[in-house]
Structure 1
Amino acid sequence: MYHYIEDKVFLKDMKYLCSNIINQLVQLINNDSLMEVEAHLVGSGAKNLITQNSNEPIDLDYNLMIIDSEININNCREIKEYIRKQFNVILNKNGWNDCMDSTSVLTTEKRHFTKGNHTEFSIDLAIVFNDRNGCHRLIHEKTGVTAWDRYYWNSVPDSRNLFDKVADIKDEHLWDEVIDEYLEKKNMYLRRQDYNHPSFNVYVETVNQVFNKYFD
């Protein structure tokens, strides 16, 4: 079952290391002429709701948000390949191996610190953009034949005005309810063996549930 990580020194060191790598990626892309991006540690990580399933490795979820692009926004294959190659440049520069291209994220190898807490961790980097309908994640649907793979934008359900909802919840000192409900939902999906709800989607679902309870 999922539980919250309470080792604050470990959390601080892990987030510092991973965020430094992601910030280097943002700088590399923004110094190029093809794309403007910004990155956010999202979902559980951004709000210090980092969970671990028993003793399994921890994933830190980042959204790489496209602000502007010379590449057609609908050319999802070219966008993901460009970002994947740039990410590998930064990873290799920092002594990490190339990332893996999974369905909805670029995933790094697992790492651990040699001193202190030895829990393994990795970076999951989703490519996203926002419009008036909310947040959209770039999906790479693999078929087994590379030429037939599909790349497309998938809408994150009910993600419109997410940041405003979070602000309202925190202003009313209701964040503890988000903390409790988020963990409950993570374990609910685990019990159901439902692996189609990544942490960010669970986070969005939790925020909406608490917001609708008090503000809708």
Structure 2
Amino acid sequence: MLQVENISKSFRAGQQVLANINLSVGEGEIVGLVGESGSGKSTLAKVIMQLESANKGTVHFQQQHITKKNRKSFYENCQIIFQNASNALNPMWTVKQLLREPLQHQNLVTDSYLQTMLAKVKLSNDVLHALPSELSGGEKQRVNLLRSILVEPKLIVCDEIVSSLDRLIQREIIDLLMTLNKERNMAILFISHDLKAVSYLSERIYVMRAGEIVDEQHKEHDGFHFTDSYAQKLFQAMEGE
């Protein structure tokens, strides 16, 4: 479904952020992307979503090279959720207005429909009339998630979406993603430095270091077995926690 081929990117100062990145996400697949802060994960997410341009390489979605001409169709099928839930929500809009916005081209969006969708992300009907400032961090991220899935995308890119939440809320959001994946066959690219969360959620994991993919492994019955020494050290440290 998603094919990232030989993506490289440098900033104006000449600092290379991404170097020959190759990555894929299949239909209905959950793929993790891990690495320490500064490894280039979020920059790669922005390049995939066409929010930043690459110096080299291509991004294909459903076998089509993404260009300005087909970007609208791409965004209908691929959504991104960012780490900072507050920044992604207009503080002057109620949740009802926030949820109606991605559906503005549909003729009729009833409160009943929105309430049904709220239940899918375990939010009460009361939040419909609330402003973002009246929501908890977990509730804001659920609203963000719901805004993304309302357009029924085939792929969502989650960029550190649980890193600012406590462990209980993290687990709830991750379990919700797994449910959505099963119910809708919705593919997920889950980007995080939280190795436990990624290992629990993902079927396949890429490991990034200093702008490069250094390892890629599929989950086996007893977990992941990485061959790169850096990847091994990362996950051994997790096991020791």
Scaled by the length of structure 1, the TM-score of the pair is 0.28
| Structure with higher helix content | 1
Task: Pick 1 or 2: higher relative contact order, CA cutoff 8 A, min separation 6.
Answer: 2
Scaled by the length of structure 2, the TM-score of the pair is 0.26
